[in-house]
Amino acid sequence: MKSAKLLLLAALALRAETYYVNVAGLGGSPDYEKQFTGWASELDRELRANGPASHVITLTGTSATRSHIREELSRLAGEVRADDAFALLLIGHGTFDGVDYKFNIPGPDITASELASLLNRIPARRQLVVNMTSASGASLAALAKKDRIVITATKSGNEKNATVFARYWVDALRDPAADTDKNGAVSALEAYRYAEQKTAAYFDTEKIIATEHAMLSDDGSANGVRDPKSERAQGLLAAAFPLIRPQADIAKSATPEKQKLLAKKEELEARIDRLKYQKAALAPDEYKQQLTALLLELARTQAEIDR
């Protein structure tokens, strides 16, 4: 059942539009200013490359003010449809005073609660918020909501050092290695795992104490997890939220014969997915035998489609 839900969401996503709002906050020093703006520009470029179904707004420097953010999000509240997807990506510094999380921007800062109320007015059922700032863990509770994926660069408001997570999040959108299931798209879950692992490896390699621990929550709760697993009901929505997707939509131009093959492929993928969920319950040999048969059939079907 879980697999069927994922496929349905993916199918819906094909017809929907995706709206991205990237905001690079205040750097506080020329180096950070340059870094944050640079990452936001790269995000902008990678997301625009998705094609015309991607609508990307990027606010940096003096345009990343509270009033501009409010303005853009309010405008989108009237433009985005329920079937569309919406993503808000925040880069920069954040602070937490024990009560409120604040995203540091030119002029007055914006709080997590304020952002949440703006996002709640956007009709898109599938929403993604990636808060890559320091202390971003403190924003999770306010931002968490049913059908919304919330990713934070830190596990709490107490992780106050400038983060590196954003750097790897941007890398995830252009590194083919991030597409771990090799379906040509990079989902929010794949990007999260990529950035989380690269961030951990960065601290490990440099032999410095890790000052950030990314979290993901997409079950509507404020209980983010570092390693989302479907058994823990975390990561399901993120897996079905494509950030980068192949532009060519084969299904649209397929012949009836190919349509059949595509349907067969989809069915085989679903069966493989179900089998994987049953792995623990099956004898290893039996699992391997069934998996081999399905994968061979899928490979043959794909070869037919590509012929």
Partner 1 sequence: MKVAGFLARFVVLFGLAAHCFAAQLSDCHALRHHGHLTEAQACFNALLSAADAFTRAEGYWRIDHYDEANEQFRIAYKEEPTSPAVRAEWGRLFLERFNPKEAATLFEEAIKIDSNYAPAYLGIAKVGAQAYDQKAVEYAREALRHDPKLTEAQELLAYLALEDSNPDAAAQEAHKALTLSSEALDALAVLASIDWLNGRQHSEWMDRVLKINPVYGEAYATGAHFLVINRRYEEGIKYYRLALELNPRLWPARSQLGVNLMRLGFESEAKRQLEECYRGRYRDAETVNSLRLLDTAKDYETVTASAASIVLHKKEAALLRPYVAPELERAIAVYQTKYKMKLPGPVRLEMYPNHEDFVVRTLGLPGQGGLLGVTFGMVVAMDSPSARPPGEINWASTMWHELSHVYVLTATNHLVPRWFTEGVAVHEESAASRDWGERITPEIVLALREKKLLPVMELDRGFVRPQYPAQVIVSYFEAGKMCDYITEKWGNDAILAMMHSYANRKTTEDAIAENLHETPAEFDRAFEDWMDKQTGNTTRHFEEWKQGMKTAAADLESGKRDAAIHELRAIEGFYPDYVAAGNTYELLGQAYMEQNDKTTAIQELERFRDIGGRNVGALKKLAALEQESGKPREAENTLLKLNYIYPEDQELHHRLGGLLLEKGDAAGAVREYQAVLALQPQDPAESHYDLAKALRAAHRMNEAKDEVLLALEAAPDFKPAQQLLLQLSQ
Report the C-alpha gap between 23 and 25 in whole angstroms. 6
Member of 198, 236, 242, 261 binding partner 1 (CB under 8 A): 198
Do you know the residue count of the chain? 307
User: Which part of the chain contacts partner 1 (CB under 8 A), choosing from 11-19, 47-55, 68-76, 174-182?
Assistant: 174-182
**Interface with partner 1, residue 167, by CB under 8 A:** no
Q: Is the dihedral of CA 175, 179, 184, 185 positive or negative?
A: negative
Under the binding rule (CB under 8 A), the answer on residue 306 touching partner 1 is: yes
Contacts to partner 1 from residues 215-244, by CB under 8 A: none
Q: Is 307 in the site for partner 1 (CB under 8 A)?
A: no
Q: β-pairing, 85-91 with 126-131?
A: parallel
Site track for partner 1 across 125-164, x = CB under 8 A:
----------------------------------------
Stretch that binds partner 1, among 6-14, 21-29, 96-104, 180-188 (CB under 8 A): 180-188
* By CB under 8 A, residue 165 contacts partner 1: no
Select 148 or 193, whichever has its Cβ closest to partner 1.
193
Applying the rule CB under 8 A, the residues between 199 and 218 that interact with partner 1 are 205-207
The full 3-state SS of 19-85, as one line of letters, equals EEEEEECCCCCHHHHHHHHHHHHHHHHHHHCCCCCEEEEEECHHHCCHHHHHHHHHHHHHHCCCCCE
CA atoms within 13 A on the CB side of 217: 22
Span near partner 1 by CB under 8 A; candidates 25-33, 40-48, 116-124, 194-202? 194-202
Q: Which is nearer to partner 1, 78 or 284 (by Cβ)? A: 284
What number of other Cβ atoms are within 10 A of residue 1's Cβ? 7
177 is a contact residue toward partner 1 (CB under 8 A): yes
* Max CA distance (Å), the chain: 63
Contact 294, 271 (CB under 8 A): yes
In the complex, the residues that contact partner 1 under the rule CB under 8 A are: 176-184, 193-194, 197-198, 205-207, 268-269, 272, 276, 288, 291-292, 295-296, 298-300, 302-303, 306
